[in-house]
Amino acid sequence: MASRPKQQHPVRQGGSTVDAVPGGPLAAPACRAIGRGTHRPQPRPAINHPPLPPQPPPVRRAQVHHSSEEYNLSTALRQTVFAGLDGFIFYLPLAPFVPPSVANTHKMFNLMYQFWIHTRHVPKLPWPVELLLNTPSHHRVHHGRNPWCIDCNYGGTLIVWDRLFGTFQEEREDDPIAYGILPPLKSWDPWAAQVHHHRDVLRRMARTPPLQAPKHLVSGPGVYWLPKSKAWKTFPVPELGGKLNPLPTPHRPLPAPVMAYTSLCFLAIATGFFTFVLGPAVAVRPISETALTALFVGTAVWTVGAIHDRRGVAAALEPLRAVLAAAAVFVMASWPRSDEGALLAPTSATDAQAFFFVGVANFLAAGWMAQVPVVFLLAQAIISAIVLPLFVVETREEAAAWADAMEDNKERGEQVFKERTAAAKKAKAE
Q: Is the pLDDT of residue 52 over 60?
A: no
Q: What percent of the chain has pLDDT over 70?
A: 84
Domain residue ranges in the chain: 256-391
Q: For residue 283, what pLDDT band results from cuts at 50, 70 and 90?
A: low
Mean pLDDT rounded to a whole number for the chain: 82
Question: Residue 140's closest CA among 66, 218, 52?
Answer: 66
Q: For residue 222, what pLDDT band results from cuts at 50, 70 and 90?
A: confident
The reported pTM is 0.80
**How far apart, in whole angstroms, are the C-alpha atoms of residue 348 and residue 329?**
23
Q: Is the pLDDT of residue 124 over 90?
A: yes
Say what the pLDDT of residue 72 is.
Answer: 94
Q: What angle do CA 392, 306, 205 make, to 5 degrees?
A: 150
- C-alpha dihedral over 251, 255, 256, 259, to 10 degrees? -70
Q: Is the pLDDT of residue 117 over 70?
A: yes
Contact present, 326 and 300 (Cβ < 8 Å): no
Say what the pLDDT of residue 19 is.
Answer: 35
Give whichever of 162-171, 193-202, 221-230, 371-380 has the largest mean pLDDT: 162-171
Contact present, 388 and 261 (Cβ < 8 Å): yes
Say what the pLDDT of residue 404 is.
Answer: 94
Q: For residue 176, what pLDDT band results from cuts at 50, 70 and 90?
A: very high
Q: Is the pLDDT of residue 48 over 70?
A: no
Q: Is the pLDDT of residue 22 over 80?
A: no
Contact present, 74 and 64 (Cβ < 8 Å): no
Say what the pLDDT of residue 37 is.
Answer: 53
Q: What angle do CA 227, 210, 231 make, to 5 degrees?
A: 30
Q: Is the pLDDT of residue 143 over 90?
A: yes
Q: Is the pLDDT of residue 410 over 90?
A: yes
Give whichever of 47-51, 86-90, 100-104, 160-164 has the largest mean pLDDT: 160-164
Coil, helix or strand at residue 31: helix
Average pLDDT, stretch 65-82? 90
Q: For residue 30, what pLDDT band results from cuts at 50, 70 and 90?
A: low
DSSP bridge pairs for 133: 158
Average pLDDT, stretch 71-98? 84
Say what the pLDDT of residue 217 is.
Answer: 83
Comparison of pLDDT for 291 and 406, the residue scoring more: 406
Q: Is the pLDDT of residue 300 over 50?
A: yes
Say what the pLDDT of residue 373 is.
Answer: 87
Say what the pLDDT of residue 280 is.
Answer: 67
CB atoms inside a 10 Å sphere around CB 408? 11
Q: Is the pLDDT of residue 42 over 50?
A: no
Average pLDDT, stretch 125-151? 94
Give the tens place of pLDDT for each residue, 344-389.
Answer: 888 888 888 888 888 888 888 887 777 888 899 999 999 999 999 9
Contact present, 83 and 107 (Cβ < 8 Å): no
Say what the pLDDT of residue 413 is.
Answer: 93
Say what the pLDDT of residue 57 is.
Answer: 47
- Cα 196 to Cα 163, 184, 246: the distances in Å are 33, 11, 19
Say what the pLDDT of residue 320 is.
Answer: 94
Q: For residue 260, what pLDDT band results from cuts at 50, 70 and 90?
A: very high
Q: For residue 130, what pLDDT band results from cuts at 50, 70 and 90?
A: very high
Say what the pLDDT of residue 46 is.
Answer: 35
Contact present, 23 and 104 (Cβ < 8 Å): no
**How far apart, in whole angstroms, are the C-alpha atoms of residue 168 and residue 141?**
9
269, amino acid identity: I
Written as one string, the DSSP assignment of 209-247 is: -TTTGGGGGT--TTEEEETTTTEEEEPPPPPTTSSSSPP
Average pLDDT, stretch 69-75? 93
Written as one string, the DSSP assignment of 102-168 is: HHHHHHHHHHHHTTTT--SSS-PPPHHHHHHB--HHHHHHHHB-SGGGTT----SSBSHHHHHHT--
**How far apart, in whole angstroms, are the C-alpha atoms of residue 119 and residue 19?**
29
**How far apart, in whole angstroms, are the C-alpha atoms of residue 379 and residue 322?**
9
Say what the pLDDT of residue 38 is.
Answer: 54
Say what the pLDDT of residue 7 is.
Answer: 39
